[in-house]
Structures are given as C-alpha cells and as structure tokens.
Amino acid sequence: MNRRDFIKLGGLVAALPVAAAEQARTVAAGDAAVREAARDVPVAGAFDVVVCGAGPAGVAAAVAAARKGARTLLLEQQGCLGGIWTSGLLSWLIDFANKPGFMDELTRRLTACDARTVTAGGKPTSAFDVEVMKVTLETLCEEAGVTVWLHTRVAAAAKRDGRLTHVITESKSGREAVAGKAFVDATGDGDLGALAGCGFDLGQPETGDTQPMSLIALVAGVSAPAIKAFFNDLDDTPRSWAAPKDQLRAAMEAGGHSPSYAKPSLFRVRDDLFILMANHEYGAKGLNTRDVARATLHARKELNALIDGLRGTGGVWKGLRLVATAEQIGVREGRRLHGLYTVTADDLREGRRCADAVCRVTFGVDVHALDPRKTKGIEAQPWKAKPYDIPLRALVAKDVQGLMFAGRCISGDFLAHASYRVTGNAVALGEAAGKASAVAALGGRLPASVTVGELG
C-alpha cells in the first residue's frame, strides 16, 4: 500500500463508526507489520490518584489514598482484587505479623469472618480463604469510595514536561485514557513505570537470570490428621518446614513423579482443603508473554501428574483431588524500577534503619533456584538478613514525575528484592505510596516532596 492510499484509508477510518473503523484499521497490513491509522483516545475519567494493579500493594494503596480524601481509581487486569492472593491462589500471608495499619485491619476482618485457618488449639495460622479475601478487599474499597475497574490493562502512558498525566488502558470498552494528578505502579512487573519511561533492572546482575515461576493449586480429598507429617500445623512449638517438605517430595516420587521444586509444600486452608506449591518454571521471563504462557501450561501439566501420582499410591492419598489451579502463575521477578533510593543487600546485612522508613522487613533472602542443575530448592546465602527498613524514597520514581511504586517493583537490587517482595511488605509499601500520592495530589505537589510525617 502506498502513502496516498494509506492517507485515504486514514480519512475513511475517521468517518466510520467505531466497529467499522476497527475493521478498516486491519486493512493497512504487510507481511512484517500492521500500521494503524492515527486516532484520538477518549479520556474516560479524571482522578486525583490512579493505582495500576490490584494485588496486595495496589488495594492497600487505593484504600489509603481514598481515605485521605483523594478521588481514587484502581485498575486491575484480572476479574477480582487481590492479585497473587486470589487469582494466584497464594492464600498464605508472609511477613505480615509486624505490620500495623491496613495489614492489621485486613487480618482482623478476615478473622472476624472466620476466613483464617486455625489450629486444633484455636491459634490462627497464616492461611486464609481465597473467596472471603476477594469480597473483603472489595468491601474495603467500596467503603473507602475507591472506583474499581476490573478486566482493564495498562497499555501506554502519556507525559507532559516529564510528568505523568495519563495512563492508556485496553479493555472490552476499547482503548481509553485516564487522567490523574498522581499515579502508583502496583503492577508487580513495573509495567506502568516502564511504559512511562522509568529505568529499571531485571534479574541477577551477572546473568540476567530471574527466579522461577510457580503455579499454585488447591487440593482436597485428604484427611488433615492423616497427613499431619506432610505439613506444618503445630500450635505451640515451632517446627521446621524441612521434614514435611522432604516427606512430601518422597511421597510424590513414590508416585512416579519428582517435583520441579525440591521443597514442595502443603498449607492447610480450611478443614481438609490445602494449597500446594510444588512447581518451579525455570528460564522463563515474566516480561515475555510467550514465556509466561509456556510456563503456565507446563506447570499445570506437572501439577496434574504429581497429584495423579500421589493418588495412585493409595493410603492417605487415595481420595486426593485437584480442586483448582491459579488463574495467574506466580511470577517472582519483574522489573525493579529506579527510584530516589535503591534498597541494597548491604541494607539487609546491616539491618539499616531509615528516618523516612515506611516498612520494616523481617523476611530473609529467599532466592528460588536460578539453575536447576545446581539446586531445585532455595539458594544458600553466605549471610543472613537482619530486620531492615524500606524508606519512602525507594517508592518515588527517579525518572518520571508524579509516579510512585508499590510492591515488588520498587527500587532495589537483586538480593534485596528476594527479601522484600513478599505480600506483607507489599501491603505496607502500598499503603505508604497511596497516602503519599494522595497528599501530593490534593496539595498540588509532586510525591518527591512529601515527607513521612505527612502520611499520618
């Protein structure tokens, strides 16, 4: 197609109804690329704070911003809130016990709804009911006045003079723009930051390798007392997870399948319902859709084989059934966006405290095997992390004005990320980012100028 014909096509598109225009745009195609005609993207809304991603960090950010009085929009590509907690089926809270504010409120609500797993002695564990978590997060957003758009993906970003002004979304409603005074990237993989022009790091510095993905499954049909040797559910005396995991792996191998993760784990959710984490997908990048698809398909096939094999051994496993696999595979590593401060391994080694701290991390360095030829478990480190602070500066974009980060895409190095990336910390980071964004938006300021003392 020559230039004159293409210009004529562009004029035709402008004159046609939307459906016809979409059809016409596909005409200007070649073997190597498809050229779309220029178009105006309608602004579907304007908000004080726009939060992209509704996982643990995003929900906390949106609720915190709205409670500060900001008109807040929460965008999510899945069909529910909660991210890895819900569509990812990781119904196990990690590094949450020392987190005040939103995390504490959430756990109290879950407890009041009888959604938290308790031991025989009545002690709450870290497990929760996924469906109750979904509706609890929705209720919190509704009460705070957060506008929620599900099934909506961030596709692009618009800036003016270095400041982020709009996010561009794609959904069943088409391509739309949303205006905001402040934005929070809680996408996990740092999608908004990258689209807006933020610098970032990915993977292990020397190799670029990233930690493997894991697909979580819900299983049932077993008796909790009968398989007590295969999971950790003691009331008082702490017990190492090593023995239950090793025995579960041995049981799987007796069924004819050795799991790709050397430390498979069962976590009791309710009665005789368990979540199973037994899978590692090596060599897959979370930023590559085809990698994620391949990893998901391979993981689901492996989980079915592991469960079928266990059931085939009979005994305590004879009634074992796969109830569900997660809608989204667990991606441990995406972009680590560049902020005003970078959390480093030295911060962990020294247990560094910060005057502008917004999160106290107590979780250790948790690097899942990068090379299965060396280990299929957790890589050993020559030192142990001490409890350390994450400062507000690590949540503020260095390269784009008006943007903050929350969750695992904040500014940090490879080893630090392997510690702070878990969900309890994501909530604390989201809450801080939401509050700071609201203060900035309502005051006509940039997030970089907001201090910890203003978060309240």
What does the pLDDT look like over 378-417, one tens digit per residue?
Answer: 999 999 999 999 999 999 999 999 999 999 999 999 999 9
Q: Would the CATH topology of 44-207+333-454 be identical to that of 217-325? A: no
* 372 phi-psi bin (left φ>0, alpha ψ -120 to 50, beta other): alpha
pLDDT band at 452, cuts 50/70/90?
A: very high
Length of the chain: 456
- pLDDT score of 23: 42
CATH class assigned to 44-207+333-454: alpha beta
Q: What is the mean pLDDT of residues 94-103?
A: 96
Of the chain, the percentage scoring pLDDT greater than 70 comes to 93
Q: Which residue has the higher pLDDT, 446 or 33?
A: 446
With 0.85 as the threshold, say if the pTM is over it.
yes
What token pair was written down for 182? 């402040």
pLDDT band at 236, cuts 50/70/90?
A: low
- Among 455, 424, 451, smallest CA distance to 355 is for 451
Could you state, in order of their start, the residue ranges of all structural domains in the chain? 3-39, 44-207+333-454, 217-325
- pLDDT score of 235: 57
Q: Do β-strands 147-149 and 174-185 pair in parallel, antiparallel, or remain unpaired?
A: unpaired
pLDDT band at 28, cuts 50/70/90?
A: low
pLDDT band at 240, cuts 50/70/90?
A: confident
With 50 as the cut, is the pLDDT of residue 13 above it? no
pLDDT band at 145, cuts 50/70/90?
A: very high
Mean pLDDT of the chain, nearest integer: 93
* Eight-state DSSP code of residue 343: B
Residue 20's identity, in one-letter code, is: A
Q: What is the mean pLDDT of residues 166-185?
A: 98
Least confident stretch, 24-28, 150-154, 225-229, 302-306? 24-28
pLDDT tens column, 295-354: 999 999 999 999 999 999 999 999 999 999 999 999 999 999 999 999 999 999 999 999
Q: What is the mean pLDDT of residues 254-275?
A: 96
Q: Do β-strands 153-160 and 163-171 pair in parallel, antiparallel, or remain unpaired?
A: antiparallel
Q: Is the Cβ–Cβ distance between 439 and 404 less than 8 Å?
A: no
The strand pairing partners of 218, in sequence order, are 275, 324
Maximum alpha-carbon separation in the chain: 78
Instruction: Give the architecture-level CATH label for domain 217-325.
Output: 2-Layer Sandwich (3.30)
pLDDT tens column, 414-438: 999 999 999 999 999 999 999 999 9
Spatial CB neighbours of 446, under 8 Å, sequence gap ≥ 6 = 163, 401, 402, 440
For residue 248, give the H/E element and its range. Answer: helix 242-254
Q: Is the Cβ–Cβ distance between 211 and 418 less than 8 Å?
A: yes
**Judging by beta carbons within 10 Å of its beta carbon (0-12, 13-18, 19+), is residue 160 exposed, middle or buried?**
exposed
